[in-house]
Amino acid sequence: MAKKTKYVKVSFLGGVGEIGKNMTVIECGDDMIVVDMGITFPKEDSPGMDAIIPDITYLKQNIKRLRGIVLTHGHEDHIGAIPYYAEELGKVPIYGTALTIGLLRRKLEKNAKKCNLVTVAAGDAVTLGNIKVEFIKVCHSMAGACALAVYTAGGTVFVTGDFKIDNTPIDGKKTNIQRIAEIGAKGVTLMLGESTNVERKGSSTSERAVGQTLESIFAANKKKRLIVACFASSNYRVQQVLTLAHKYGRKVVLAGKSMKSMVEVASSCGELNVPRGVIVDSIGKLKPGEALILATGSQGEPLSALNKLSKGEFNKINVGKDDLVVLSSSPIPGNEKAVYDVINALFRKGAEVIYDSMNDIHVSGHAYEEELKLMLSLVHPLYFMPVHGEYRHQHKHVEIAGTLGVPSKNIVIPNIGESYSVTPKGFRKHSNVPAGNIYVDGVILEDGDAVVRDRRSLAEYGMLLVLAAVDLDRGKLCGDVDIVARGINLTDEVQRNVKNAAAEALRSADFDKSDIDEYAKCLKKAVRKLFMKDRQFPIIIPVVVEG
């Protein structure tokens, strides 16, 4: 029998206290839905990993109550984890607008058939058990972005998703302020508001401004070959480049797998209008002034088309003095070095490069302070939780909500794994649900935390392999102790100390004298102690055999 609980419960599996891997669970009674299932790209603190995805133990524990997954839009930090969990999700329906589902279908590859993908349009509502979800059009850096109104017996939860207010969007489809105001007027119990650009004063610039800047570049550089790099997912940016190329008589070569894939998906679902004949397969005999290369890699990604171009490794294209490179992006914090390395390499080749120092060569897809205020005013929630941001962003968003009249007792900064229930009468914190980082390196790693820890130790301190043969009965080492080191300065003194430690460990009373594995542990401890004195923590691998 269905429980009679009349509260809505919200649990955060990712996307709070961090920018990336957004995933929120909303429940009411026996019904559960998930909003977004994103990915994070690893930084230096997790070397060599492909991706970080949310822990979905809580979903697996409740899979029978899971009625659907609703996607706000098609960015990686909102849909990227789904392909890794396609098996677990089985036939749970996944809802999104055409571009979102189109991109997800591409990512799922052959698993797409196994998944239950459902395309909706902004303005649609879907019923998932006793929960109803309405998709509301918002502007963002890609098409198909929606805010969500989640109607439950315990009240309405309004999820802003990633948004901005753009009054002159490229496709003419504005953020549906009227509908958001109506929903707000009927009463929203809880609002989850994105916080990415909360530190930026004023309002974001319209995407259209980038087109004007790009046009001035096209007009002033008719003799040069243009190389434009931007996020493949930015269909509006791609649209403006294609339109201008057509207007200025240039042919466009798409460089990078994700750029080609995005152009195909976006044009097939009507979110990109490719002028006839403007895209060609190769530069061929085109003069510099007749060609444009539209490339991925605006974040300096090592395997991207722009990076390869900067090294002369892309389709035998030599970048040089006839080229003008435009990075239509700004580096995501953490990517600066990679981006500037590529820019340096392009300048070295003689190309001219225009990057973030120039106004309006890139605009953000995320709301600035005044837009966040407008959203809070329209939704006018009883409770407010800032999401999609690091702690400082969330903290600042709380201040803003306070100035707009949300009482401070009704504002909570949620952390990963936390679970809250809200009703019009109050909110309650529940015990935490399982949540955290799951590392992917080719495959999902079972104990990724340990792998990451080891890789960090290897990178910082190196590795020492100690090979010893022992006669435990007689308490003696047989022959010499061999030492193999990587990333460690193996001086005679270090070797002597390690050998002494191996002999001393054998004499210690710390281990069971009949167990060779116990001696190996003891040896490891003794060697570790030698390095700890200098605050060094190399990986130590003892290999002990009976002599």
Q: Which residues bind Zn ion (CB under 5 A)?
A: 75, 77, 162
> What's the min distance (Å) between Cβ of 520 and Zn ion?
48
Q: What minimum distance in Å lies between the beta carbon of 100 and Zn ion?
A: 11
Minimum CB separation of residue 196 from Zn ion in Å reads 7
Structure tokens at 91: 């036939």
Cβ 102 to Zn ion, closest distance in Å? 16
> Given the complex with Zn ion, which of 162 and 207 has the nearer CB atom?
162
207 closest CA partner among 239, 161, 177, 181: 239
Are the CB atoms for 25 and 59 separated by under 8 Å? yes
- When the beta carbons of 128 and 146 are compared against Zn ion, the nearer one is 146
Q: Which is nearer to Zn ion, 189 or 437 (CB)?
A: 437
Which residue's CB is nearer to Zn ion, number 115 or number 146?
146
> Sheet of 279-280: strands edge to edge?
279-280, 251-255, 291-295, 225-229, 323-327, 352-354
**In this complex, which beta carbon is closest to Zn ion, that of residue 162 or of residue 418?**
162
CB-wise, 77 or 134, nearer to Zn ion?
77
Min dist CB 421 to Zn ion, Å, is 25
Q: Which residues pair with 28 in a beta bridge?
A: 8, 31
Evaluate whether 366 touches 204 at the Cβ level (below 8 Å).
yes
Q: Min. distance of Cβ 396 from Zn ion in angstroms?
A: 17
In terms of CB distance, is 23 or 306 closer to Zn ion?
A: 23
CA–CA distances in Å: residue 238 to residues 79, 220, 254: 21, 20, 10
Based on CB atoms, which residue is closest to Zn ion, 9 or 140?
A: 140
Angle between helices 516-532 and 492-507 (to 10 degrees): 140
B/e letters for 447-477, b = 16+ CB within 10 Å, e = fewer, are ebeebbeebebeeebbbbebebbbebeeeeb
Alpha helical stretches, state H, 170-313: 177-186, 208-220, 235-247, 257-268, 305-310
3-state helix, strand, coil in the chain (%, to 5): 35, 25, 40
Question: Radius of gyration of the chain from Cα atoms?
Answer: 28
- CB 352, CB 324: distance < 8 Å: yes
Q: How far is the CB of 366 from Zn ion (least distance, A)?
A: 8
Q: How far is the CB of 388 from Zn ion (least distance, A)?
A: 6
Three-class secondary structure of residue 329 per DSSP: coil
C-beta neighbour count of 487 within 10 angstroms: 14
